Amino acid sequence: MTDSDEKLATENLAMVREQMSKAAKIAQRKVEDVRLIAISKTRSADEIRPLMEAGHRLFGENRVQEAAGKWPALRDAFGDVKVHLVGQLQSNKAEDAVELFDAIHSLDRPSLVKALAKAMDKLDRRIPCFVQVNIGEEPQKGGCEISDLPDLLQSARSAGIEVPGLMCVPPSGVHPAPYFALLAKLAKENDLSGLSMGMSGDFESAIKLGATHVRVGTALFGART
């Protein structure tokens, strides 16, 4: 890691936080109420370290196996870091996920509720799980159907899984604001306060519409090579 790597990471982090502050101010919200998850999927430990040296401590990964290969050592080096799983989770990886992550943002089906509850009981470790909603009703995307949301929430709560809120990935190529607004409406209807929504290209819009967690990768790390 060079001084220029750390300088760039510090500048990118400051720029994103400034954009977050402006969006929160417009929405008459406190920026402290919005958590910034730095999406470090496909990034090496050497690429992640400059952002950690700049003071950031909350990261997001898409795959259990990839995260397991780099985060134990980074945790040892930096201590108080938190890592969230933001990608799809196979039921057979539930135990590994519960052991490795501090939160999961992709609970989307009854079979995964059962697998996570079993893993949490076995490991005696409870972690919060956002329910992912297929907000654009896209067959190729993960997430529960909107009509299935109440039953899935009831199932998770009955299994002793803490559900802090909802997560979505809006369809690409269209304005995301209506989808963010819909997720906020669904959360309110189901007495949930957490909203995991917004990425590098649209996190300001998400904050204006109530996001509590934004998932930002490219704006922090730069374009993938």
Q: 56-74: per-residue pLDDT in tens?
A: 999 999 999 999 999 999 9
H helix or E strand, kind and range, residue 17: helix 3-26
- Choice between 140 and 112, residue whose per-residue pLDDT is larger: 112
Contact 21/31 with Cβ under 8 angstroms? yes
142-159: burial string, b at 16+ Cβ within 10 Å, e else: bbbeeebbeebbebbeeb
Q: What is the dihedral of CA 46, 51, 55, 58, to 10 degrees?
A: -100
Instruction: Give me the pLDDT at residue 3, please.
Output: 73
For residue 133, what pLDDT is reported?
98
Q: What is the mean pLDDT of the chain?
A: 96
Euclidean distance between CA atoms 52 and 46, whole angstroms: 10
Give the bridge partners for 107, in sequence order: 131
Report, as an integer, the average pLDDT of 38-59. 96
Query: What gap in Å lies between CA 45 and CA 23, rounded to an integer?
Result: 31
Among residues of the chain, what percentage have pLDDT more than 70? Answer: 99
The structural domains of the chain, with segments of one domain joined by +, span: 3-221
Query: What pLDDT digit, counting tens, does each position of 128-171 carry?
Result: 999 999 999 998 889 999 999 999 999 999 999 999 999 999 99
Q: What is the pLDDT of residue 118?
A: 98
Which tens digit of pLDDT belongs to each residue from 10-37? 999 999 999 999 999 999 999 999 999 9
What mean pLDDT is predicted for residues 168-192? 97
The arrangement of secondary structure in 3-221, i.e. its CATH architecture, is Alpha-Beta Barrel (3.20)
For residue 7, the model assigns a pLDDT of: 92
Give me the pLDDT at residue 127, please: 97
- The DSSP call for residue 144 is B
Token pair listed for 10: 């510090």
DSSP E strands in 49-188: the ranges are: 58-61, 82-85, 103-107, 129-132, 165-167
How far separated are the first and last CA of the chain, in Å rounded?
17
> Among candidates 61, 92, 95, 94, which has minimal Cα distance to 75?
61
The confidence score (pLDDT) of residue 1 equals 57
Chain centre distance of CA 152: 19
